């Protein structure tokens, strides 16, 4: 499994012998998006780390902008399977982004992993995920924060 680390060098070194100062400054000014660097790590450690978490960060690539967007969200974990429930259902921007580009980055503490998300709008599947959220977070809390129940996401960490 590959983990992702976000690297953004907003200040490239100015002491490069191959480039003059003006070239380096132009390059520095042109940096507009972060770069994702993938490194191999053990996914089992990531799954174990999730067991201690209440929420995780999900980074999806914008379907229009092409830029990464990160949201802190609730999740339910069953072994190496993760379920996500968009607060605004299918109207949630991150859910729409997943439908267009299903590769996402999950972040738990200092651990990151890139996975393929599977967005769903099937009512039976969404209801099953909703019940899992109610078991973990409480029925009242889910009702308090979630306005639509027409979309859900599942993914497998392998």
Domain positions in the chain: 2-40, 43-156
The DSSP secondary-structure symbol of 135 reads H
6-20, 37-51, 65-79, 105-119: least confidently modelled range:
6-20
Strand partners, 58: 71, 106
In CATH terms, 43-156 corresponds, of 3.30.930.10, 2.30.110.10, 3.40.190.80, 3.40.640.10, to 2.30.110.10
The pLDDT of residue 42: 56
Query: What is the band of 23 on the pLDDT scale with cuts at 50, 70, 90?
Result: low
57 pLDDT higher than 80: yes
Other CB atoms within a 10 A radius of the CB of residue 28 amount to 13
Query: What is the band of 4 on the pLDDT scale with cuts at 50, 70, 90?
Result: very low
CA distance 34 to 21: 22
CA distance 147 to 80: 27
The pLDDT of residue 47: 77
Mean pLDDT of 19-34: 46
By the 8 A CB rule, do 129 and 151 touch?
A: no
Query: What is the band of 81 on the pLDDT scale with cuts at 50, 70, 90?
Result: very high
Higher confidence at residue 119 or residue 3? Answer: 119
18 pLDDT higher than 90: no
Residue pLDDT, tens place only, 131-142: 999 999 999 999
The pLDDT of residue 116: 94
Mean pLDDT of 46-58: 83
Q: What is the pTM of this model?
A: 0.71
The pLDDT of residue 5: 40
Query: What is the band of 92 on the pLDDT scale with cuts at 50, 70, 90?
Result: very high
Other CB atoms within a 10 A radius of the CB of residue 133 amount to 22
CA distance 42 to 113: 10
């Amino acid at each position: 499994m590959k983990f992702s680390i976000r690297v953004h060098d907003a200040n490239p070194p100015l002491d490069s012998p191959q480039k003059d100062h003006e070239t380096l400054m132009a390059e520095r000014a042109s940096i507009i998006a972060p770069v994702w660097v993938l490194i191999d790590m053990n996914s089992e450690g990531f799954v174990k780390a999730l067991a201690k978490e209440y929420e995780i960060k999900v980074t999806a690539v914008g379907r229009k902008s092409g830029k990464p967007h990160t949201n802190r969200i609730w999740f339910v974990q069953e072994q190496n399977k993760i379920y996500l429930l968009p607060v605004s259902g299918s109207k949630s921007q991150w859910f729409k982004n997943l439908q267009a580009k299903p590769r996402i980055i999950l972040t738990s503490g200092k651990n990151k992993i890139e996975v393929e998300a599977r967005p769903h709008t099937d009512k039976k599947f969404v209801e099953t995920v909703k019940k899992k959220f109610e078991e973990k977070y409480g029925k009242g809390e889910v009702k308090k924060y979630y306005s639509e129940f027409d979309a859900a996401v599942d993914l497998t960490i392998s």
